[in-house]
Amino acid sequence: MEADYVIVGAGSAGCAVAFRLSEAGRSVIVVEYGGSDAGPFIQMPGALSYPMNMARYDWGLQSEPEPNLGGRRLVVPRGKVIGGSSSINGMVYVRGHARDFDHWRDQGAAGWGYADVLPYFRRMEDWHGGDASPVRGQGGPLHVTRGPRDNPLHAAFLEAGRQAGYPVTEDYNGLHQEGFGAMEQTVWQGRRWSAAAAYLKPALRGPNCTLVRGLARRVLVEQGRATGVEIDRGGRVETIRARAEVILAASSINTPKLLMLSGIGPGAHLQSHGLDVIADRPGVGSNLQDHLEVYFQIASLQPVTLFKYWNLPGKAWVGARWLFTRTGPGASNNLETVGFIRSAAGVDYPDIQYHFLPIAVRYDGKVAAEGHGFQAHVGPMRSKSRGEVRLSAPDPAAAPSIRFNYMSHPDDWAEFRKAIRLTRELFAQEAFKPFVKREIQPGTDVTSDADIDAFVRDHAESAYHPCGTTRMGAATDPMAVVDPEGRVIGVDALRVVDTSVFPRITNGNLNAPAIMVGEKMADHILGRPPLPPMNVEPWIHPDWRNSQR
């Protein structure tokens, strides 16, 4: 088999690249190990806790024991299905803050400042959030909507933010991220709108794009040039040739693993596994970042939470309503309000995010024993801790070793303490008085630094936003893996196009910037001039140096 381009991974960025390359008349083969995204559990937004806990759709990865979290192994859900993690995620749509991308640019990713990436966010969006906006896109492949927010707890959350002195933002994905407002979601007409729905399926309907199911074993490199991919398909090893380039879009976990299996990575580590070193790039697998969060849970005085559906008749009603009408609680991810705040004066843009949910429940589907309750997921946005992905064995079927090193920087602890205290203050506002029965967790007795630290150590969970493991930078940067056009430094005709290339994690959830990377890299791959930059200024609190809100 042969095509102009071979893309490994049908995830968020890979689907976008496949669509844009095939649209331009190039032949594309997409290699994906996972299968179909058919079925109610994966398509119903309200059932979001199911697919990320199902072996059919998830790789089932775990971290190594985390020393600063009491030796706990944290789950690392990654999509093993067309659409990748956009098919199993919470469908939350956050572009990131303008300053995130300016930081990328300033760290050596030339051409990736906010002015440069904004046109690509606009190109990919079909935004249904309000009146036309010069910074929002309409008519693009990706539907972006807002939930109904008809549960009274959403209004209480927004009003509590206002009462606490924070701004209200009409559009956190526009120029004013800071504050409290309506959350956006990749849901369309009551169904999950994944990258597979937005990009891959339209591409496959055309004449230039083919999907091949198989496990990528390694990239074939001949005389310094990537020429194809070796895959395991049905128990047989096959080769798929790329006439132009090989593009890795296999996730921030599996992309570095595949590079290392192909002889591209830290030389001594590769040699320890008996692998020949084709390109000694110490940055492969390093710079691993994630968002860590806690669930701040409150028992509700009133039976208005989604817990009323947390029984067999309730779930049957929600499921039937969704199946027949695509409406009701099953038609939304129910993460319908959001907050972005700054933790302290002197922080120029938000470094804490809230996801508000009108039920007290974990991502694994376990509800609080209390019954009716609600929660805010809260955590710092820009942890200084860094981890790594390494090979556990030279076997392509073996899971890699994933070490996040969560909470390994002292600033992380101080930031979490602030986040928890600010959250407690938020739930103490007048707007929540009719609803707050008691604090389930952390618990009102958890007040000292030591108590809060112990709570974080025992209860913090990943927000499932791993990134950064083949970071983008200047070709002269010894720790950069790809240049600003996604080309792997030291190997010709090989690119990386996924969240691996992020120099630093962005504010909020990563699906939107992952797709944006696919959109922008497609133009680089095609040799097209990038879209003209849009020089607009984001809102920054006028007194951020002296005021926390």
Name the helix (H) or strand (E) containing 453.
helix 449-459
CB 90 within 8 A of CB 96: no
Across residues 277-288, what is the average pLDDT? 98
Catalytic residue (choose from 291, 465, 524, 541): 465
Dist CA 162 CA 429 (whole Å): 9
Asked whether residue 428 carries a pLDDT value surpassing 90, the answer given is yes
Hey, what are 405's tokens? 């090193």
Q: Which residues pair with 297 in a beta bridge?
A: 375, 441
Q: Is residue 519 part of a domain?
A: yes
Indicate if the pLDDT at residue 165 is higher than 80.
yes
pLDDT digits (tens, 9 = 90+) for 46-66: 999 899 989 999 999 999 999
Q: Are 400 and 59 in contact (CB under 8 A)?
A: no
Tens of pLDDT, residue by residue over 496-517, are 999 999 999 999 999 999 999 9
pLDDT in tens, 327-377: 999 999 999 999 999 999 999 999 999 999 999 987 666 667 678 999 999
pLDDT-derived band at 402 (thresholds 50, 70, 90) equals very high
Percent residues over pLDDT 90 in the chain: 96
User: What is the residue type of 375?
Assistant: Q
Whether residue 352 lies inside any domain: the answer is yes
**DSSP assignment of 280-322, as one string?**
E-TTTT-SBB--EEEEEEEEESSS-SGGGG-SHHHHHHHHHHH
Task: Reply yes or no on whether the pLDDT at 76 is more than 70.
Answer: yes
Q: Please spell the DSSP secondary structure of 263-276, one letter per residue.
A: TEE-HHHHHHTT--
Q: CA-CA distance, 381 to 50, in Å (whole number)? A: 26
β strands within 156-224, DSSP E: 179-182, 184-185, 187-188, 191-192, 209-213, 215-222
Mean pLDDT along residues 251-273: 98
What distance lies between CA 424 and its chain's CA centroid?
A: 26
**Between 370 and 162, residue with greater pLDDT:** 162
Distance CA 143, CA 185 (A): 8
109: its two tokens: 């990713």
pLDDT at 36 over 70: yes
Helix (H, G, I), strand (E, B) or coil at 494: strand
Residue 172 lies in a domain: yes
For the chain, what's the residue count?
Answer: 549
- Decide if pLDDT at 246 tops 90: yes
Q: Is the pTM of this model over 0.85?
A: yes
Residue 547 lies in a domain: no
Does the structure show a pLDDT above 80 at 301?
yes
Q: What angle do CA 28, 499, 270 make, to 5 degrees?
A: 85
Q: What percent of the chain has pLDDT over 70?
A: 99
Nearest CA to 57 out of 45, 70, 43 is that of 43
The residues pairing with 465 across neighbouring beta strands, listed in sequence order, are none
**538 in any annotated domain:** no
Query: Which helix (H) or strand (E) element contains residue 154?
Result: helix 152-163
Give the pairing of strands 292-300 and 436-441: antiparallel
| Contact by Cβ (8 Å): 505, 351 | no
Q: Could you give the CA distance from residue 12 to residue 517 in angstroms, rounded to a whole number?
A: 9
The domain tally of the chain equals 1
Distance CA 184, CA 392 (A): 38
Sign of CA dihedral 149, 150, 154, 155: positive
Q: Tell me the Ramachandran region of residue 373: left when phi exceeds 0, alpha when psi lies from -120 to 50, beta otherwise.
A: beta
User: In this structure, which amino acid lies at residue 438?
Assistant: R
Q: Is residue 539 part of a domain?
A: no
| 535 occurs within a structural domain | no
Assess whether pLDDT exceeds 80 at residue 97.
Answer: yes
pLDDT digits (tens, 9 = 90+) for 193-218: 999 999 999 999 999 999 999 999 99
Question: Going by DSSP bridges, is the β-strand pair 337-341/352-357 parallel, antiparallel, or unpaired?
Answer: antiparallel
Task: Quote the domain boundaries for residue 297.
Answer: 2-525
Cα 521 to chain centroid, rounded? 18
d(CA 364, CA 342): 29
Strand pairing category for 142-146 and 125-127? parallel
Candidates 197, 117, 135; CA nearest to 520 is 117
Q: Is 291 a catalytic residue?
A: no
Residue 389 has pLDDT above 70, yes or no: yes
Count H helices and E strands in the chain, helices first: 13, 25
> In this predicted structure, what is the pLDDT of residue 88?
97
The CATH number linked to 207 is 3.50.50.60
Report strand pairing: 28-32 vs 209-213: parallel
The widest CA-to-CA distance across the chain, in whole angstroms, is 70
Residue 281 lies in a domain: yes
